[in-house]
Chains A and B, each alone.
Chain A
Amino acid sequence: MIHSLFLINHTGDIFLEKHWKSVIGRSVCDYFFEAREKAVEPENVPPVLQTPHHYLISIYRGKLFFLSVIQTEVPPLFVIEFLHRVADTIQDYFGECSEGVIKDNVVTVYELLEEMLDNGFPLATESNVLKEMIRPPTILRSVVNTLTGASNVGDTLPTGQLSNVPWRRVGVKYTNNEAYFDVIEEIDAILDKSGTTVFAEIQGVIEACVRLTGMPDLTLSFMNPRLLDDVSFHPCVRFKRWESERVLSFIPPDGNFTLMNYHVSSQNLVAIPVYVKQSISFFETGPCGRLDITIGPKQTMGKTVEGLMVTIHMPKAVLSANLTATQGTYTYDLATKVLVWDIGKLNPQKLPNLKGSLTTQAGTPKPEDNPSLNIDLKIQQLAISGLKVSRLDMYGEKYKPFKGVKYLTKAGKFQVRT
């Protein structure tokens, strides 16, 4: 299956390599570098490459390439999903997945990789099992370790691998028992020039933070589970119970995890929280153009829209922007040609407006395509689909946990075409 893994930074340096079978020389990466050159943008590198003797499957995360070398037939998604799991694990351990962090913890990362695959086949990918074997560094522990000379490797043997609930350790203890759930919904939408919705849907995710003693068995039920059209679960959720009763019944992993992802059925109309009035035009005569954008609230369900931000990928010919914003600040990055207008809170009384002129490169024909606007926004305390958690019950333990549910609506891939 997976033969070797190379971690490559955006400048093309290989800064970590791990081989699960015989060693494969770094030169195999040359094919990748070639493709990388050709693709211009790192996102455009094909995830699967064929070389005379190997296949290269790579992912791009956090400005790093995770490049795996394959020799025989294997489902590509299998490898891709695994590589993402590696990145997730690193993030989980060290708070972020970046070159600096990996270099700082190179031994721990190497040990993790050693445990995650055996002969190229995934062995332990559950973060809870891994944490039992290789403890994540904490400030306190590293201080203690330096004083006592103790190590990061767990001296107890990992029993999690033997358990039927591999995602949870035994013997979890907390003084404050708490279970928090964040229902986060994202609106994916494409609006056309006139503001009509070309396509809109709601994707949701329930992120959980559960710190409960012992082996609690939780049941989470919804007021309106019928809204949910398509779901995917953390392995801990009992699927049959969902099928029959539409409740989430599960023994939670310890700590933070994603309980479920869902898609709201497409029959429901999606409320679009803001409208955008825009006009971007370039003049035939003279190297300039005009830009005028106004944003106003549309269907906000009586809540305030926060964290409003507009991102525009300008045509290559646009040299500079001379704009005035009635609210917030704007920046124009000359190198990437990205205009970002950070608005903040949306005030319905005084609508934010961005207006001014654009300078294009002299001599080039006017850009004939208008860039599309990407909108970012947040609405606290609201799940735009109307999904509501009705109750959370706990079985199997005696104490009374603190429970909390938070709702949040965000813009996902929210795009306005011009």
Chain B
Amino acid sequence: MSASSAFNDEKGGSSSVGEPEYGHDPASGGIFSSDYKRHDDLKEMLDSNKDSLKLEAMKRIVAMIARGKNASDLFPAVVKNVACKNIEVKKLVYVYLVRYAEEQQDLALLSISTFQRGLKDPNQLIRASALRVLSSIRVTIIVPIMMLAIKEAASDMSPYVRKTAAHAIPKLYSLDPEQKDQLIEVIEKLLADKTTLVAGSVVMAFEEVCPERIDLIHKNYRKLCNLLIDVEEWGQVVIINMLTRYARTQFLNPNMNESLLEEGSGGDRTFYGSDEDEDEDEEEKEKKAETPAMAKRKPYVMDPDHRLLLRNTKPLLQSRNAAVVMAVAQLYFHLAPKAEVGVIAKALVRLLRSHSEVQYVVLQNVATMTIKRRGMFEPYLKSFYIRSTDPTQIKVLKLEVLTNLANETNISTILREFQTYIKSMDKDFVAATIQAIGRCATNIGEVRDTCLNGLVQLLSNRDELVVAESVVVIKKLLQMQPEKHSDIIKHMAKLTDNIQVPMARASILWLIGEYCEHVPKIAPDVLRKMAKSFTNEEDIVKLQIINLAAKLYLTNSKQTKLLTQYVLNLAKYDQNYDIRDRARFIRQLIVPTEKSGALSKYAKKLFLALKPAPVLESPFKDRDHFQLGSLSHLLNAKAGGYQELPDWPEAAPDPSVRNVEVPEWTKCSSREKRKEKKVEKPFYSDSEGESGPTESADSESDSASGSESGSGSEESASRSESEESEDGSESEEEEEEEEEEKEKKKKKKELKKPVQESESEQSSEEEERKHQRKTKQRKSDSESESDEDEESESESSQSESEESESEAEVKKKKKAAESKPPSKPVKKESKKEKKEMSLLDLDDFEPAPSPQVTPVNTFLSNSLVTDLEGLSLSDTVLSPATIAPSSALKNYELLHRITGEGLSVEYCFSRQPFSPDANMVAVQMQFTNNATADTKNLHIEDVKLQSGMRVKEFSEIELLPAGETATAVMGIDFCDSTQAANFQLCTHTRKFFVSIQPPVGELMRPVFLTENEFKKEQGQLMGMNEITEKLTLDMKCRNEHTIVQRVTTAANLSRVPCGSDKECRFAGRTVSSSSLVLVTVATKEEGAAQLTVNCEKMVIGTMLVKDILLALTQ
């Protein structure tokens, strides 16, 4: 009773406080006995006023529960303490209550009012815990109360409470399934929640309550994809599994063309087949050969939402949580195009280093995968080599994988490995190895003889199990080509004297019977021996003896007639009715009597028919119809509550269901239009950032992806944006494919044209492609505002299409050739679209960023603060106004249209983190060409800076057609000074001297602080670092909202939550040196106010005070 010693200590303590009446060591082991008098003593302790005594008692009670002892008779005494002030006592009472409430329903009701009170507590954590306990009490009578509480909590301010509500849903559902409809409503509401905290829990609730209501996911699909990376790991698993199912119902099979190919190229190919279908080149060749067939089918274009899912889950392969890695792996296995599935192999192999239980599950799944996609794991063959210290089950699974991976090239190494395994001490494993050798031999013809010889050698092994297993396997192998191997059969016939394992004996007898004409002399002798020992044999052996006798009788009745009679007579009186039946049946069949019917004529045909060789198959063969990673897959049987993985739909359901209504201000073109655009130009289909309007709701992943390619090599940047290089190449392949096809179609037309023209066409096309690359590059350089980027990009490409007549012509032809929408409407539409786009562009330039658009960049920000900004919690915990700089970004003029000779340039501080360098301020420029001629080669030269300052130029804008606008983003490190950055803006003809001078408010980035942190930081920035100014607020600026708005407009700061409504606090850090900037505006009567700025950099502080003063007083 080591526990008692711990209690002794505490007991000693409490008695020293002065409770002599309990001095008689109540902590001795005896309490745990079911002596009820001892419980009286616990009751007494619970009734006392001392918290320490109550605590002591509760601890002992919980210890009893933990050990599985019954403590239910204490219920009344315990439940009284539910309202106890001491938190630990209260917690333990909750533990007790949840455990026993179900058994003592009436008494449990006494505690309900406490929880109901708790649900109204101002503290979110108390609300949450009250709901948690209330919903855990399984008392049917309180269902309505629970329902009400859940509904209320679902719209709670605090995301934590909402999370708890999500957790409570399946509890209530299991208590009373009739509440389903109401619960679905709550789930629907919570699914719309934008916080990462809630997402995992609500999807879990969804899976338990209404997994069939896939329609509820549509509107939240993109949001879930985007939030995924920030959801806690357990939630990630649930969401990924659910999204796998979702994607299977909503998108098209990305491998459908390949599967068509596979069908087309003939069904003679097995997975074990000698010709390797994984070979890329071969596939390429085939593709060319099959193109006529392909042409019938539409080229597959992946739905951008499908791509979004694949892209956003991929980083999770790096998770430390094996369950998350497995979830992503199965998602890729079930959803990704064949060429991309490979990425999961490495991660899965990594898991093999983990605990043996993890290995066990992973290997099961790898075994299934290797059957379908062998090529994927081939490079990791050696990782599946077996160590003598592995547990048997792991060994067997690794063996399975090795067998699946075997092909002509690696079979020799694998067999050499197998040879060492056969020597293992673990006999079960040796048996499995022998079977594996047999399977390799059947699958790979070249090594069949080698394997057979090896197995025959094993027949002289000392271990009977090994021999027996070998016999069984040899039997199967011999069946494939018996005529060559009569000596092996002879050898095996001799074994009957020694071998005792029934299965092996049976196998030998069957072999001899089947091929008795190959061993005509030995066979009758074997039968003689067997007849002698018949009565002592196992049932399966007996059956085979009868079989052998029958076959011999038919082929060699002279020698064996009597023996057969004898055996059949013995069998007639056997205890086993199967054997009796068999004997009777065979006698009738082979021994001709007058009664025997027509059948006996065919006896020979019946017994000595050519039997097909058995196919040695992997036990993992068709397991992939279960969702990988699931319990059902592991057990190869449907587990309760398993949701079938649906087949891909023939035609994709309407993708617009995933559109989310866009707030007015974005004026985003509807998704249908985007779609159309995409159909026109499959070239863009893979370029990213088109995850749709929802993107604006989550700028995080985008900014991150933007940054990634921005800092990546130029090449990859020129490709689709945030795809990793593999994906990139893949998409290019697709592109090429499409290109190829286009080319082909075009060629048909070209036949009629003069050669010259086609040449020019080609070159112009090339040029165009270059342009597109460039624009993309520019786009990736420009920042995280995916929407804007996309618009500008598509716009510029649009404009390109209009640019020169010839090019437009070409395009038109191409479009016509593609025979998609008729060319005229397309043209019109694109024009209309263009107009809309440019309108949009202007709008976009002065966006009123939504709360979520605040600069966020998880992976690039140098400090936590930016991270926290992204915290989707914050926007709900605080009032929405807190972070939103609800005013427009201010535009500054860089180059007037008159001085710029038609080129005008405006810039604004976009307040987004500048991805290539976090110490730089992002400056967004908008170039407008008002002249009549095109402007070319817009770039920056001759940068003159103060020491320490740095500039990251935007990449050159090749072409700015007349009347068009373009945007670019450059980064400037101002070194936390308001010195101007001077440089020359060059076009192909002229140079303009320009300078950018930042207002002090733009030299910082917002930081998320809690009230306490703010106070603490402020305390450290007193004295010289604090500047205070009195002011009178502008008449229009006397409410909190306007103050926040004006301050955040003047400076890029974020609001700090604050308990008092008289104060507004803001925090930020300077971009270059990360010095903290704290701003406090305290309001008093009649518009009087006090502004305090704390900043380590006094210059910044002083200037900021001036700017904010100005903003607040005007």
Q: Which A residues have a C-beta under 8 Å from some C-beta of B?
A: 1, 14-19, 21-23, 26, 41, 43-44, 46-48, 50, 55, 58-61, 70-78, 80-82, 84, 100, 103-107, 109-111, 114, 118-119, 121-123, 125, 142, 145-147, 149, 151-155, 157-158, 161-166, 170-171, 188, 190, 192, 198-199, 201, 203, 215, 217, 219, 229-235, 238-245, 249, 251, 258, 261, 263, 313, 315-316, 365, 367-372, 374, 395-396, 413, 415, 417
Q: Which B residues have a C-beta under 8 Å from some C-beta of A?
A: 2-3, 5-6, 9-10, 12-14, 16-17, 51-52, 55, 59, 62-63, 65-68, 86-88, 91-92, 95, 99, 102, 123-126, 132, 135-136, 138, 158-160, 164, 167-168, 170-171, 174, 196-197, 201, 204, 229-230, 232-234, 237, 241, 315, 318-323, 325-327, 346-347, 349-350, 353, 355-358, 360-362, 382-383, 385, 387-389, 391-393, 417, 420, 423-425, 462, 629-632, 634-635, 637, 639-643, 704-705, 707-708, 711-712, 724, 858-860, 862-865, 867-868, 870-871, 873, 877, 1010, 1012-1013, 1074
Decide if A155 touches B87 in the complex (CB within 8 Å). yes
Nearest Cβ in chain B — how far from A54, in angstroms? Answer: 10
Complex Cα spacing A155 to B95, Å? 17
**CB-based A-B contact count at 8 angstroms:** 311
Most buried by A among B14, B321, B643, B1013: B321
SS class of chain A's interface: helix, strand, loop or mixed?
A: mixed
**Given contacts A76-B631, A153-B91, A241-B860, is CB(A16)–CB(B67) below 8 Å?**
yes
Which of A81, A146, A203, A365 makes the CB contact (< 8 A) with B462?
A365
A-B pairs with beta carbons under 8 Å apart, 14 shown: A22-B138, A47-B361, A75-B630, A77-B362, A84-B355, A121-B167, A146-B10, A149-B17, A153-B88, A188-B353, A238-B859, A240-B708, A244-B708, A417-B420
Q: Which residues of B contact A415 (CB under 8 A)?
A: 387-389
Known: A164-B873, A417-B420. 5 other contacts (CB 8 A): A21-B138, A48-B635, A100-B2, A104-B2, A240-B858
Decide if A44 touches B393 in the complex (CB within 8 Å). yes
Q: Which residues of B contact A313 (CB under 8 A)?
A: 388-389, 425
Nearest Cβ in chain A — how far from B1062, in angstroms? Answer: 25
Decide if B167 touches A119 in the complex (CB within 8 Å). yes
Nearest Cβ in chain B — how far from A301, in angstroms? Answer: 24
Decide if A77 touches B3 in the complex (CB within 8 Å). no
Complex Cα spacing A251 to B358, Å? 28
Nearest Cβ in chain B — how far from A367, in angstroms? Answer: 8
Decide if A164 touches B712 in the complex (CB within 8 Å). no
Nearest Cβ in chain A — how far from B210, in angstroms? Answer: 15
Decide if A316 touches B712 in the complex (CB within 8 Å). no
**Given contacts A104-B2, A149-B52, A261-B350, is CB(A70)–CB(B1013) below 8 Å?**
no
**Given contacts A107-B62, A165-B867, A239-B315, is CB(A158)–CB(B125) below 8 Å?**
yes
Decide if A55 touches B639 in the complex (CB within 8 Å). yes
Which of A75, A199, A239 makes the CB contact (< 8 A) with B631?
A75
Complex Cα spacing A125 to B417, Å? 42
Decide if B87 touches A153 in the complex (CB within 8 Å). yes
4 shortest interchain CB distances as A-B pairs: A146-B13, A240-B859, A72-B641, A164-B871
Nearest Cβ in chain B — how far from A25, in angstroms? Answer: 9
Q: Which residues of B contact A75 (CB under 8 A)?
A: 237, 241, 323, 326-327, 629-631
* A149 to B, closest residue via Cβ: B52
Decide if A104 touches B3 in the complex (CB within 8 Å). yes
Decide if A50 touches B637 in the complex (CB within 8 Å). yes
**Given contacts A106-B3, A231-B318, is CB(A111)–CB(B95) below 8 Å?**
yes
Which of B17, B66, B347, B634 makes the CB contact (< 8 A) with A106?
B66
Decide if B858 touches A109 in the complex (CB within 8 Å). no
Decide if A104 touches B6 in the complex (CB within 8 Å). yes
Complex Cα spacing A243 to B716, Å? 13
Decide if B357 touches A80 in the complex (CB within 8 Å). yes
Which of A22, A41, A243, A245 makes the CB contact (< 8 A) with B724?
A243
* B59 to A, closest residue via Cβ: A107
**Given contacts A44-B391, A75-B241, A103-B2, is CB(A244)–CB(B167) below 8 Å?**
no
**Given contacts A55-B639, A77-B326, A241-B860, is CB(A165)–CB(B387) below 8 Å?**
no
Decide if B640 touches A315 in the complex (CB within 8 Å). no
Q: Which residues of B contact A161 (CB under 8 A)?
A: 160
Decide if A104 touches B5 in the complex (CB within 8 Å). yes
* A113 to B, closest residue via Cβ: B66
Nearest Cβ in chain A — how far from B965, in angstroms? Answer: 30
Complex Cα spacing A13 to B14, Å? 33
Nearest Cβ in chain B — how far from A262, in angstroms? Answer: 9
* B17 to A, closest residue via Cβ: A149
* B428 to A, closest residue via Cβ: A44
Decide if B357 touches A47 in the complex (CB within 8 Å). yes
Complex Cα spacing A243 to B915, Å? 13
Nearest Cβ in chain B — how far from A19, in angstroms? Answer: 7
Decide if B321 touches A81 in the complex (CB within 8 Å). yes
Decide if B346 touches A217 in the complex (CB within 8 Å). no
Decide if B391 touches A41 in the complex (CB within 8 Å). yes
Nearest Cβ in chain B — how far from A329, in angstroms? Answer: 22
* B391 to A, closest residue via Cβ: A43
Nearest Cβ in chain B — how far from A176, in angstroms? Answer: 19
Q: Which residues of B contact A119 (CB under 8 A)?
A: 135-136, 167-168, 170-171
Decide if A217 touches B864 in the complex (CB within 8 Å). yes
Decide if B859 touches A249 in the complex (CB within 8 Å). yes
Which of B67, B91, B318, B357 makes the CB contact (< 8 A) with A239?
B318
Q: Which residues of B contact A18 (CB under 8 A)?
A: 66
Complex Cα spacing A238 to B230, Å? 11
Q: Which residues of A contact B65 (CB under 8 A)?
A: 110
Decide if A80 touches B66 in the complex (CB within 8 Å). no
* B638 to A, closest residue via Cβ: A73
Q: Which residues of B contact A122 (CB under 8 A)?
A: 232, 234
* B462 to A, closest residue via Cβ: A365
Decide if A72 touches B639 in the complex (CB within 8 Å). yes
Decide if B863 touches A413 in the complex (CB within 8 Å). no
Q: Which residues of B contact A58 (CB under 8 A)?
A: 357
Decide if A123 touches B423 in the complex (CB within 8 Å). no
Q: Which residues of A contact B637 (CB under 8 A)?
A: 50
